[in-house]
A and B are shown apart, each in its own frame.
Chain A
C-alpha cells in the first residue's frame, strides 16, 4: 500500500486541479486549477525517476558511487522543459484573462458568454 501512496496522492492532486478547471467560475481560479494539475503531472514525472534513498546523479573523481544508488536524471531534465512550457501557457492565459477583464469588467465566466458553446 505504502509504495503506491505517493502516486495516488499525485493523482488526487491532478484531479483537484481538473475539478477546479471545470467547476470554478472565476477565470483566475481556472488558471490556478490548471497550474495545480500541471504541478501534479510534473511531480508524477519526478516520482517515476525517484529511488528510495537515492542521491544526486553526479559522478565524482574522489569517491566511487555506484549508478544503482543514484536517482534517474532523465525525468529531472524533462521536467525542466515541462515547467517552462507550463510557464508559457500560464502567462498566455493570464494575458488573455486581463484582456477579457478590460472588455467585460469581470472575471466571472458565466457573464463572459458570447459564444453558444
Chain B
C-alpha cells in the first residue's frame, strides 16, 4: 500500500494544504476548515497504512531518493519502524487538535492564517521524521520551528509577543548549534546521508570532531526538547500559544524535533556509548526533578502543564538513555502516552479558558458539575500522567523503572518513582481547585464547550484509558516493537537503507 512513490506524500499533503488555505481563505471561509481537516486526515490515514505495510514486510525499511538521484548525492527518505511509530503519534494528535480547533478558533480572527501555519508546522514535523539526510533534517526542523514561533505569537497580545520573541531567539540558537554539529559531522564523514555517515564513522572512528558534534547535538536538540539546563523558554512559550497549538507544541513538536532527532542521531548514526548513555540519563533525571518541583507551585493552569512537560520529557530521555531494549521500549511508549495525555490536558485547559475565561486555578472551583466532559477527560489524563494503574501512563513508567532496576541504576529508579508521586500531587491540586468544591457565584453561567471540542477530548481520553492495550503481545510487535527495534538495532547499515 505504501510504496516508495507515496512516501513523499507525508510532506507534500500538508504542504499543499498550507498552500491552498491562503488561496481560499479570503473568499470561502468554510473551505479552509475542510482543506485543513482533509489534509490532516489524509496524512493520518497514510501513517496508519505505513504501519500496516511495514508489518507486512517484516520491518525492512522502505526508502526513496528524491528526484531519482542515487543515495549519497540525492536526498533519501526512509520509512522504518521508528518513523512509522512517530508518524502515527504526530498525525493522530494533529488530527484531533485540528478537529478541536474548528470550534476553538472562533475566538480568533483569520482562521486561514492559523490553518496555514498549522499545516506548515505539520509538514515540517513529518519531514523531520521521514528524512534520511542530516541537512534535510535541519531544513525541515527550521520549517516546523519558524511556523511554531509564529503560532506562539498568534494572539499578538503583549505577553504572547514577548514569549514568541524569547522562544524564537532560543530556538534559533538551538538551530545554530545543530547546524554547527552537522558541519562537524560533514567534515568528518564527507557525506550528509545518515546511513553513509554511520558507515564511515564506523570505519574512521568518531575522533574528536565527532565527539564535539555530539556535544553540539545534545545541546541543540536539548534546547529544542527543553531538557533542564535548556528549558527556560518553554514555560513562557507553550502557555502563550492558543490552546490547540499548546497541545501540538507540548504534545508532539518538542518530541519530533527534539527527542526523536536526538535519538535517531545518537542511536542510529553516531552509535551509543556508555558516556552518552549516562549523560542522557543524568539530563533526564534532572529534568524530571526540576520540572516537577517547579510545576508544584504554579497557579496558572497552562504554566503548570508546561512545567509538567519538562518533567515528563525527562522520563522519556531517561528511558532512552538506559539504552537497553526494555528502556527504549518504555521511553518510546512514554513518548506516545505523553503526546496523548499532555495534548489532552492542554485541550482541557483550553476548554476551561473558553468557558470560564481564566487560567488561574484560584478563580475556578466546582467546574466538575458544570463541565462534565472536560472534568472526566482531565481526570483520565491526570491519572494517566501520574501513573495510576490501569491507565496507559502507568505501564510506560513501569517499563522505564524496570529498565533502570535491570541495569542496577537504583538512584534513577527511586527518583522516577518519587517524581511520579509528586506528579500525582500536583494533578490532584488541579482537580481539587478546578473541578471539586462548590460552584462560585461568578461561574454559575458556565456551560460545556461545543461538540467538536468534546469529540477531540473524548477521543484522546479513550486512548489514555485503553493505551495499555498496546503492550498486549501481537499489537506490541506491530506498533511499539518495530520502533524500539529500529533504535536498539544500533547504527544503520547502508545496504539496509539503500533498498
State the A residues within 8 Å of B (CB): 14, 18, 21, 27, 30, 34, 37-38, 41, 44-45, 48, 74-75, 78, 81-82, 85, 88-89, 92-93, 96-97, 99-100, 103-104, 112-115, 117
Contacts and interface: CB of A to CB of B under 8 A. Distances in A.
Contact of A117 (B135, B164, B236): B236
Contact of A38 (B163, B168, B176): B176
A34 B146 contact: no
A104 to B, nearest CB: 7
B169 interface: yes
B488 to A, nearest CB: 32
Contacts of A92: 146, 149-150, 168
A27 B165 contact: yes
The 7 A-B pairs with the shortest beta carbon distances in the complex, nearest first, are: A114-B159, A48-B187, A115-B236, A85-B142, A41-B176, A96-B165, A45-B183
Nearest to B240: A115
27 contacts: A18-B173, A37-B173, A38-B172, A41-B179, A44-B180, A45-B183, A48-B186, A48-B187, A74-B186, A74-B192, A78-B135, A82-B179, A85-B175, A88-B146, A89-B149, A89-B168, A89-B172, A93-B168, A93-B169, A96-B164, A99-B161, A100-B162, A100-B165, A114-B159, A115-B162, A115-B236, A117-B236
A90 to B, nearest CB: 9
Interface in B126-140: 135, 139
Nearest to A35: B172
Contact of B161 (A18, A30, A41, A96): A96
B139 A85 contact: yes
Contacts of B146: 85, 88-89, 92
A104 B135 contact: no
Interface string B147-183: 0011001001011011111101100110110011001
B232 interface: yes
B183 A44 contact: yes
Most chain B beta carbons < 10 A, residue from A48, A82, A103, A115: A115
Interface string B456-473: 000000000000000000
Nearest to B237: A115
* Chain B residues touching A, range: 20 to 34
B168 A112 contact: no
Nearest to A91: B146
A88 B179 CA distance: 16
Contacts of B186: 48, 74-75
B179 A114 contact: no
Nearest to B146: A88
A113 B166 CA distance: 11
A96 B183 contact: no
Given A34-B169, A34-B173, 7 more contacts: A21-B173, A41-B183, A45-B179, A48-B187, A81-B135, A92-B168, A100-B158
A93 B156 CA distance: 13
B300 to A, nearest CB: 9
A34 to B, nearest CB: 6
A41 B180 contact: yes
Which of B139, B158, B175, B179 has the most A CB atoms < 10 Å from its CB? B179
Q: Which of A38, A99, A100 has the most CB atoms of chain B within a 10 A radius of its CB? A: A99
